[in-house]
Structure 1
């Protein structure tokens, strides 16, 4: 269920925010779409709104600080 995947994504987001540096994450497109939604504070179901192609790259980050998560790049090929 989307809520279960959202809970897993939340754990990853928490771990990522504890890292002081860059992190590379590989996963399925379905999980990464939910991860992006949770990164932005959206419900897990909103991951369905993001298109993510195979072998593409995306960059999550912050605008000014940890309180302003953003998507810097999405679905770059």
Structure 2
């Protein structure tokens, strides 16, 4: 699977999350979650390589003010 393939899967998840009325909880592999975080903040899929993610850590994606300002609120916390 190429980075573009993983990015496309992440984009589909991001699009679905952004339509949710409430909070969303996701469990997945660290490699996918790193790409998901990169796509959340509009980085290319390869941007996920810059995010270290340990097993059983907590990360929170959210927004600064509204849906037009996605941010990483917490990353890789135990």
TM-score, normalised on structure 1?
0.99
* Matches of 1:6 and 1:34, distance apart in 2: 6
Q: Distance in 2 between matches of 1:38 and 1:23?
A: 16
Q: Aligned pair count?
A: 77
What residue ranges of structure 2 are gaps of 5+ in the alignment? none
Please give the alpha-carbon distance, in whole angstroms, between the structure 2 residues aligned to 1:20 and 1:46: 28
TM-score with structure 2 setting the length: 0.98
Gaps of 5+ in 1: none
Q: 1:37-60: per-residue Cα shift (whole Å, max 9, x none)?
A: 000000000000000000001000
Alpha carbon RMSD of aligned pairs, Å?
0.3
